[in-house]
Amino acid sequence: MLLVTLGVLTACGEPEDPKEPGADPAQVDSVRTPMRGACRQLTLEDVAAPTNASKVVPCDGKHTAETFAVGDLPAELNDAAYDSPEVGAFAYETCDTGLQEFLGADESLALRTVLSWAWFRPSEKAWDEGARWYRCDVVGGGEQSASLVSLPPTAKGVLEGRPDDRWLACVDGPTVADSVKIPCTQPHDWRAVTTIKLGEDADPYPGDRLSEVRSRDFCKKSVLAYLNYPPQYDFGFTWFHEAEWDAGNRRSICWARTSD
């Protein structure tokens, strides 16, 4: 994959000082749409930020992020506020669906991997100047990770067929609650094995209690089948709340206690 150079400032004058360590001054307030296929060495702090101007690095070297989708927001969002829910909802749908296609995963597998996505928008200055681009990056981890893992020269298709354990999500600890995701190549106690879909896109949030009960009951049966009906077994589940539902997630994750 070729090293690419991202867009430069279109405003007059010198670029502002970088707003983040290791930032590329030419990207900080750029109104130009970023380039697909670029790789970066992002951190968890970078992933949590609304915008990112980290320097591009060679994809055949160490990196934790790869840009897999870029574009302009739809015209109906041109007048939206910088942090509007509508912009966030568009990014969720675009990046989430695009990541599944890029990795070669279905919706269930995409939730059971250590790989995730982060999206970025222009800086507030560039937004005020009319920039309306978005950038979706596949990253080697997420909110439930201790750190981001390095990616291959391209992550395209890494979940096709039977995925390598280094991309699948496991947990090392007494329970799955409040535990960080790690690759299943590391010593672990729990493996994410299935998911349950709690509703359709147009359905209202069923509520915390019902979401928890449905997830628990399904995962109890699903993990039992996954382990081939042993006389004794342990299972866990991760269910999400209304904020995640509103963002587009309709699934809970089932975990089996196993070191395999």
Give burial (CB, 10 Å; 0-12/13-18/19+) of 80: middle
For residue 20, what pLDDT is reported?
A: 63
Residues 6+ apart with CB under 8 A from 236: 175, 176, 177, 190, 219, 254, 255, 257
Express each pLDDT in 74-105 by its tens digit.
999 999 999 998 999 899 899 999 999 999 99
Q: 10 in a domain, yes or no?
A: no
Is the pLDDT reported for residue 125 higher than 60? Answer: yes
Residue 5: inside a domain: no
Q: Are residues 31 and 110 in the same domain?
A: yes
Residue 99 lies in domain: 25-139
Mean pLDDT of 130-140: 96
pLDDT (0 to 100) of residue 7: 30
Domain boundary among the residues 100, 120, 139 is at 139
- What are the φ and ψ backbone dihedral angles of 9, each rounded to 5 degrees? -65, 140
Number of structural domains the chain divides into: 2
pLDDT given for residue 218 in this prediction: 96
Instruction: Evaluate if residue 21 carries a pLDDT over 50.
Output: yes
Residue 29 and residue 113 in one domain: yes
Give residue-wise pLDDT tens across range 46-70.
999 999 999 999 999 999 999 999 9
Q: Are residues 189 and 113 in the same domain?
A: no
Residue recorded with tokens 């042993």: 230
* Per-residue pLDDT at 172 exceeds 70: yes
**Residue 205 counted as domain residue:** yes
**Whether residue 135 is found in the same domain as residue 176:** no
DSSP secondary-structure letter at 208? H
- 128 and 33 in a common domain: yes
Residue 201's pLDDT is what? 86
Would you say residue 2 lies in a domain? no
> What is the torsional sign of CA 26, 24, 136, 126?
negative
pLDDT tens by residue, 98-119: 999 999 999 999 999 999 999 9
Give the C-alpha separation, 94 to 109, whole Å. 17
**What tokens appear for 241 in the block?**
């709340």
Q: Is the pLDDT of residue 230 over 90?
A: yes
* Section 231-245 average pLDDT: 91
The answer to whether residue 80 is domain-embedded is yes
Residues 228 and 177 in one domain: yes
> Do 218 and 119 share a structural domain?
no
Asked if the structure places residue 186 within a domain, the reply is yes
In this predicted structure, the answer to whether residue 159 has a pLDDT above a threshold of 60 is yes
Q: What is the mean pLDDT of the chain?
A: 88
The answer to whether residues 29 and 131 belong to one domain is yes
Do residue 174 and residue 100 come from a single domain? no
Residue 168's Cβ-count burial label (10 Å; 0-12, 13-18, 19+) is: buried
Confidence of residue 15 (pLDDT cuts 50, 70, 90): very low
82 and 135 within one domain = yes
Domain assignment present for 159: no
Domain membership flag for residue 157? no
In contact, 215 and 208? CB cutoff 8 Å: no
Whether residue 19 is predicted with pLDDT greater than 60 in this model: the reply is no
Burial letters 12-44, b for 16+ CB under 10 A, else e: eeebeebeeeebbbbbbbbbbbbeebbbbbbbb
Percent of the chain at pLDDT above 70? 92
pLDDT surpasses 90 at 259: no
Average pLDDT in the 198-225 region?
A: 94
**Closest of 97, 253, 260, 81 to residue 185, by C-alpha:** 260
Final residue of a structural domain among 139, 159, 185: 139
Rounded to an integer, the average pLDDT of 166-183 is: 89
Amino acid at 195: T
Q: How confident is the model at residue 147 (pLDDT cuts 50, 70, 90)?
A: confident
